[in-house]
A and B are shown apart, each in its own frame.
Chain A
Amino acid sequence: MKKFVYALVILMAIIHQDVWWWDNKRLVFDFMPLGLFYHALFSCMAAGVWALAIKWAWPSDIEQWAEAGEEQGGEQ
């Protein structure tokens, strides 16, 4: 599922470039320009994709390693 999530992230980056509505001035709900409406929807979809990432691609190995106990002793 991790690969599916990563593919979704790439797909989002692609559909962000909405050249198909570049010169469309139509108002959605009579007040929201279509280009702005699309990108507001995009923000909601991005939240959805990240929710899926947390469900299916969470770095639990890193989390467990970090919380296994502090080693400290960092810094040159």
Chain B
Amino acid sequence: MSHAPWLIVLGQAAEPASRTPLYIIMVYMCALFALGWISSRLFRGSSKDFFVASQSIGPFMLLMSVFGTTMTAFALVGSTGKAFSLGIGTYGLMASSSGLIHAACFFFVGIRMWSFGKKYGYVTQIQFFRDRFESKGLGYLMFPILVGLIIPYLLVGLIGAGNYIGGVTAGMFPETFSLPEKVLPSGKEIAHPLNGSIPAWLTGLVISAVVLFYVFLGGVRSAAWANTFQTIVFMIMGLVGFLVIAHGLGGLEAASNKALEHAPEKLSRVGLMTPAHFMSYMLVPLSVGMFPHLFQHWLTAKSAKSFRLTVIAHPICIMIVWVPCILIGIWAAGLHAEGSLRVPPLPNGTPNANAVLSAMVKTFMESPVLIGLFSAGVLAAIMSSLDSQFVCIGSMFTNDFVVPWMGKDRFTDKQKVWLGRGFIVFIVLITYGISIFKPTSVFNLGVWCFSGFSALFPIAFASVYWKRLTKAGVVASVIATAVTWSLFIYDALGNKGEKWFGESHAGEYLIAGVMPVTFICLASIIALVGVSLVTKAPSQATIDRFFPTKG
């Protein structure tokens, strides 16, 4: 197998690469600053406006903000990397199933949650759960668990951005960010493929600062504006980038035929996943029904009718973003097998899946301007999730922890906004620290995070459809989820010896051939239903309040 093409690229790294892409990314960041400032002019100064934009968001902005929030590094960087290793089945695992399940969550749960928020003035989902289950303490149990599950989600964004920018800026600053030479298995020393690239810590710092800036200025309203802008940017640039890469490979047909010739296994699912594994993945997208940041976006809707466009267009938007990424991933697999694509390796020598997209962009996009625009699109996808998560963390801290603990009248509206901002910075600092020291697969980390939220989804669903659901049932379900999730994630990632429950297959941790989310959900549902049936039902007043119609 010849390694000549990528060795030539490495050889050229002695001369600094064009910095034009970086300048374009910087212009994009400035545009976000400007957008944050403009949207902040509409900020009404109240905590309700900061946390739910005074319920003024219409159908198009709701679609863009909800879709932009669900698409993070997981969708672009993660999906391309996963298709590189698992092939086309990656689309069915997460994208097509999400088109059905996400929209189902919006339709069956989101509209009802919005109606309660509208009627009773909720800002966070924990406020709803507190009232629905007549328990202040339930909020204190759910708060750390929800924040704890959001942290891996934030990590997905920061790690994905760091990996992508690292790959695409390789060779730009050979003196400032030099890296030691790498030793090939043959013993030969070569220049580090990421020599002279922007380090992950700097990328994480910059995107966190930009997102914090516009979120601080206008809260969820700024996030919705920025999401709309960024979603349009990453959808357009994703398509443009896809076509340019295809052109660089000699056209769509030539690119796919190369994959068929050199990595045929990636064009089907046989040997890479089993039907049981594939089916169990359908539980993962249920997580959107329990994401606190999506709940907050639902509450920003001006009316229930605002949901209609989101429910219908969400599957199509997913398709527009994911199909090109999956194709790029399998093309990369073919090129890598052929020896004409160099993907920076992990310390263990295997190709770094997170770096597949940047490797394809760097190798097959000739124009530095296009590389810059495409890279801005990738960052747009990442930041459009981070902003919502940042606002949500602040909302939860203020409304679910501080206010119930210290009392409603202890703080002025302005102080509540500042409390939220302070906690956002605290969590971002923790996440940022972890992102520097714990690089891992963006896709797998995302799936673990989503699995936790998916297992909590039965609580959200039952809370709006099952009158008999009790506080004790919810507590049992939360504990069952926390225990099983912790055990499985430790077994998968922390247990260096023989695995207790499952085994690794093609980079996935499976238990009895299916995703761990299956058993976490099962434990959650059994605890929820079992304990609810043997404990005292909620009061009639509460049932009347949350089941006002026969529908």
- Residues of A near any B CB (own CB < 8 A): 9, 12-13, 16-19, 21-25, 27, 30-33, 35-36, 39-40, 42-44, 46-47, 49-51, 53-54, 59-63, 65-67, 70-76
Q: Return the CB mask of B76-110 against A: 1 if under 8 Å, else 0.
A: 00000000000011011001110110011001000
Residue of A nearest to B122 (CB): A74
Given contacts A32-B256, A76-B136, contact A66 B308 (CB under 8 A): no
Across the interface, which residues of A come within 8 angstroms of B304, CB to CB?
59, 62-63, 66-67
Q: Check A35/B111 contact, CB under 8 A, given A13-B282, A16-B92.
A: no
Do A30 and B91 touch across chains, with their CB atoms under 8 A apart? no
Cα(A25)–Cα(B330), bound, Å: 12
**Are A12 and B268 closer than 8 Å at their CB atoms?**
no
Q: Is B46 an interface residue (CB 8 A)?
A: no
- In the complex, the answer to whether B319 meets A9 with C-beta atoms within 8 Å is no
Main secondary structure of the interface of A (DSSP, over half): helix
Contacts A18-B92, A74-B120; A50 near B319 (Cβ below 8 A): no
Majority SS at the chain B contact face = helix
B326 cross-chain contacts in A, Cβ below 8 A: 36
B1 CB, min distance to chain A CBs, angstroms: 22
> What separation, in Å, do the CA atoms of A19 and B142 have in the docked complex?
39
In the assembled complex, how far is the CB of residue A32 from the closest CB belonging to chain B, in whole angstroms? Answer: 7
Residues of chain B contacted by A19 (CB below 8 angstroms)? 275
Q: Which residues of B contact A (CB under 8 A)?
A: 88-89, 91-92, 95-97, 99-100, 103-104, 107, 111-112, 114-116, 118-122, 127-128, 130-131, 134-136, 139, 252-253, 255-257, 260, 264, 267-270, 275, 278-279, 282, 303-305, 308, 311-316, 318-319, 323, 326-327, 330, 404, 408, 548-551
List chain A residues, Cβ under 8 A from B89.
35
Cβ of B256 and Cβ of A47 under 8 Å apart?
no
The 4 tightest CB contacts between A and B, nearest first, are A74-B120, A66-B115, A31-B252, A23-B270
- Residue on B with the closest CB to A19? B275
Q: Check B323–A36 contact: CB distance below 8 A.
A: yes
Output the nearest chain A residue to B256 by Cβ-Cβ distance. A31
A42 to B96, CA, bound (A): 6
Pick from B119, B135, B275, B330: contact of A17, CB under 8 Å:
B275
Q: How far is the CB of B524 from chain A (nearest CB, A)?
A: 20
Smallest CB–CB gap between B150 and chain A, Å? 22
